[in-house]
Amino acid sequence: MILKNQSKLMQEAHLHMPQGVAENYRYWGDDQTVFVDSAKGAKLTDCDGKQYIDFRLGYGPIILGYRDDRVDQAVIRQISEGGTLSGFSTSLDTKVVKKIKELCPQIEKLRFANSGTEAVMGAVRTARGFTGRDRIAIVEGSFHGLVDEMMWKSDIEHWNAGDTCPPKIIPFGAGIPQNTRALVDFIELNDFESLEQLFATRKDSLACVLLEPIIGNAGSIAACHCWLQRLRELCTQNGTILIVDEVKTGFRVAKGGAQSLYGIYGDLTTYAKAMGNGYPVAAFGGKANIMDVVGSHEGGVVHGGTYTANLIALSAAHATLEILANTNALKTIDESGEKIRSLLGRVFTGAGIEHSFAGPPAMLGIHFSSEVPQNYRQWRKVNNSLYKNFAWKLIEYGVMLEPDSREPWFICEAHEQIDFAWLEDVVTRAIRAVL
């Protein structure tokens, strides 16, 4: 099938943007980069009129569905009655914070941001300002945004899963100064030895440990309860701030996020994505005594931004959080996710494919292996080439997802309206086609 509009748009876009896209992760090659014409509910329509059931959901922000009328009408009212931006405080600031505090008991004070990257920057700077220390530690396989210090990763693609040596730590790409690596340590998820070693060697210089308890860029593999509890204990004992990155899990996997599922809480938390149902809003917050180092007082941590707490973002966040708090939206999402997990399991079992599922139903990780990987290095051992071929076939058949198995299937409230029998048939045809 020749996609005339896609080809034309791609050619024109190349004249004006690197790779013809507005950000790197949207480029899937000249012939496969998707140009969306419209989105509603759980469906996308591309520039050539092809429709998809979408499980990518913009990497997770869409929690209710595209163009949800309840959220959009709240934004329209705000624009019409109160404007979009003044550079001053409004009553809406406090209303949204209070709503977050109702859902997340670990939040005592909070500041807003415009993206997950900004929220992480604010939280890390706050942790350093409070502790007077510089070093940070992150978990292999996690992603914490596009600030230079966070743009280092385990080179898992070029690592042999049988090697006794750990993967090399490399930058995500060019332009990352080598000296930004100097203050960052890496630990393995669910590995007690690397955790104990971190604090044995860095306890007096470690400002914070930053982690996703359910890793959104590693197929929703998760911290086990005992490992996370030990991390919490070590941070408390050594005066290190535990920052829980809930940019993907916050207000998605539960009303109180992943921390409410574990019953283990960080000192600081970052939020973004689902809190605005697609509108650009983020936040970081936590214990009052830690957050109170933020401010214009002498020695205070600087935090700001022209568009921080803009009224479009806050009106969307307020409406979205009200819906999540006071309706069965998350219950509906979980039920849809469970249906999808069941039908996928039936298809994979019928095809004789080893498989396992990770994460809560709203953020479903799929692994073609008999057991869920317990860390990023174990993920390297699963059959990712089969998953990639399967994903591209699904996209061809009208199911949109990320072709990389490290990205989970995101479920939104509008998915309850899809034809599950159709989906099971498409999944069956796709897996048969690639075997």
Cα distance between the two ends of the chain: 23
Shared domain check, 377 and 231: no
Please state, in angstroms and as integers, the Cα–Cα distance from residue 403 to each residue in 26, 60, 161, 175, following that order.
12, 15, 21, 26
Domain harbouring 18, CATH code: 3.90.1150.10
Tokens 């996928």 belong to residue: 344
Low-confidence ranges of the chain (pLDDT < 50): none
Report yes or no: 103 and 265 within 8 Å, Cβ to Cβ. Answer: no
Domain harbouring 105, CATH code: 3.40.640.10
Shared domain check, 260 and 170: yes
Q: What does the pLDDT read at residue 45? A: 98
Shared domain check, 243 and 225: yes
Shared domain check, 259 and 117: yes
Q: What does the pLDDT read at residue 399? A: 98
Q: Which residues pair with 284 in a beta bridge?
A: 111, 270
Shared domain check, 10 and 85: no
Shared domain check, 419 and 320: no
Shared domain check, 160 and 259: yes
Q: What does the pLDDT read at residue 162? A: 78
The packing angle between helices 69-81 and 311-326, to 10°, is 140
Q: Is residue 18 classed exposed, middle or buried when 0-12, 13-18 and 19+ CB atoms within 10 A define those classes?
A: exposed
| Residue in 305, 317, 228 with CA at minimum distance from that of residue 280 | 317
Q: Output the CA angle 382-56-161, nearest 5 degrees.
A: 15
Helices (H) and strands (E) in the chain, counts: 13, 16
Interatomic CA distance for residues 212 and 389, integer angstroms:
28
Tally the domains of the chain: 2
Q: What does the pLDDT read at residue 4? A: 86
Q: What does the pLDDT read at residue 120? A: 98
Contacts of 179 (CB under 8 A, 6+ apart): none
Q: Which of 326, 356, 375 is the last residue of a domain?
A: 326
Shared domain check, 154 and 41: no
Q: What does the pLDDT read at residue 188? A: 96
What is this structure's pTM?
Answer: 0.97
Shared domain check, 159 and 291: yes
Tokens 């080598």 belong to residue: 178
Tokens linked to 346: 């039936």
Q: Which of 280, 298, 326 is the last residue of a domain?
A: 326
Q: What does the pLDDT read at residue 351? A: 97
Q: What does the pLDDT read at residue 163? A: 81
pLDDT digits (tens, 9 = 90+) for 105-122: 999 999 999 999 999 999
Q: Supply the range of the domain harboring residue 33.
A: 4-67+328-434
Shared domain check, 226 and 130: yes
Backbone phi and psi for residue 244, each to the nearest 5 degrees, phi listed first: -100, 115
Q: What does the pLDDT read at residue 431? A: 97
Q: Which of 303, 326, 349 is the last residue of a domain?
A: 326
Interatomic CA distance for residues 192 and 279, integer angstroms:
39
Shared domain check, 293 and 227: yes
Interatomic CA distance for residues 354 and 348, integer angstroms:
7
Shared domain check, 8 and 53: yes
Q: What does the pLDDT read at residue 161? A: 79
